[in-house]
């Protein structure tokens, strides 16, 4: 079975600063893969590399068996055209820490936007599907509201519905609950739990250790641009082997 995401020695630097120092990992299809680690550990950068919002400097990164951002012919790499990069991103949903909903569109318009504009779906079909997705995230009554009229938790659930509207084979979550008030976190995690149960492949950066423990199939602890420890959530979160993992967990748990 092809891995959904496969990283081999992925390096990334911003100028002189090395952010990723050789990441090797694999995410299987239908797996819920949780990335944890302190801020500045490079986990967010790694996530953004997966859909080519950032270019990696060395190593290889594959999504569903295909190289991210490049085409290989013989031993030469060719950069993909913008259009080809965009085409690949359609299959990867992304949810951001700051939601990034389009503020000039209502909730349902946000969800419809990509299917209509990118896939060329008819508005009627897209709207119907969008309403179903909003219902799935528990917001069927907020379809006509603008993002500024929604709470953070509601906005994030619309953002998840927006990503799902493209029927992605992989979902990326960039600390989806970090910008939320504590009492709103649960709603968003419930939606993510539902996705996991439906077999969606997910890579989630999260500080919600409870979610990682209950829903995650594997957990990777990153620090300072390297993978320190990985394994089943029960092992990593309850019996960490490395000192750095232990000290990090003692602070967040």
Residues at the contact surface with another protein, assessed by CB under 8 A: 51, 53, 82-83, 86-90, 92-94, 96, 98, 100-106, 113-114, 117-118, 146-148, 159, 162-163, 166
| Helix extents (H) in 90-223 | 107-117, 123-136, 152-164, 182-197, 209-215
Residue number with CB closer to another protein (117 or 238): 117
Residue 217 burial (10 A CB sphere; 0-12, 13-18, 19+): middle
> Pairing mode, if any, of strands 76-79 and 202-205?
unpaired
Helix (H) or strand (E) holding 94: strand 92-95
**Whole-angstrom distance, CA of residue 192 vs CA of residue 241:** 28
Residue number with CB closer to another protein (14 or 242): 14
Residue number with CB closer to another protein (133 or 236): 133
- Name 83's Cβ contacts closer than 8 Å, sequence gap at least 6: none
Minimum distance of another protein from residue 85's CB (angstroms): 8
- Name 161's Cβ contacts closer than 8 Å, sequence gap at least 6: 107, 111, 130, 133, 134, 136, 137, 139
Minimum distance of another protein from residue 187's CB (angstroms): 20
Residue number with CB closer to another protein (53 or 80): 53
Residue number with CB closer to another protein (98 or 232): 98
Minimum distance of another protein from residue 242's CB (angstroms): 33
Minimum distance of another protein from residue 202's CB (angstroms): 15
Residue number with CB closer to another protein (173 or 221): 173
Minimum distance of another protein from residue 47's CB (angstroms): 11
Query: Which residue matches tokens 């906005």?
Result: 155
In contact, 222 and 36? CB cutoff 8 Å: yes
| DSSP structural state of residue 57 | S
Minimum distance of another protein from residue 244's CB (angstroms): 30
């Amino acid at each position: 079975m092809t891995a959904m995401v496969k990283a081999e020695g992925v390096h990334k630097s911003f100028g002189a600063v090395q952010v990723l120092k050789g990441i090797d990992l694999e995410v299987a299809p239908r797996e819920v893969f949780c990335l944890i680690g302190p801020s500045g550990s490079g986990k967010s950068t790694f996530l953004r590399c997966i859909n080519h919002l950032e270019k990696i400097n060395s190593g290889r990164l594959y999504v569903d068996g295909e190289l991210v951002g490049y085409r290989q012919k013989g031993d030469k790499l060719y950069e993909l055209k913008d259009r080809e990069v965009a085409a690949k991103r359609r299959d990867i949903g992304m949810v951001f820490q700051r939601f990034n909903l389009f503020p000039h569109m209502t909730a349902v318009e946000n969800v419809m936007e990509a299917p209509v504009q990118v896939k060329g779906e008819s508005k009627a079909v897209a709207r119907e599907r969008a309403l179903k997705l909003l219902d799935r995230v528990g917001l069927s009554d907020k379809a006509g509201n603008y993002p500024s009229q929604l709470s953070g938790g509601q906005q994030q659930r619309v953002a998840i519905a927006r990503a799902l509207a493209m029927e992605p084979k992989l979902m990326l979550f960039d600390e989806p609950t970090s910008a939320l008030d504590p009492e709103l976190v649960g709603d968003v995690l419930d939606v993510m739990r539902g996705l996991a149960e439906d077999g969606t492949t997910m890579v989630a950066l999260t500080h919600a250790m409870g979610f990682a423990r209950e829903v995650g199939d594997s957990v990777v602890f990153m620090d300072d641009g390297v993978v320190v420890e990985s394994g089943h959530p029960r092992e990593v979160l309850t019996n960490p082997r490395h000192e750095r993992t232990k000290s990090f967990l003692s602070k967040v748990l």
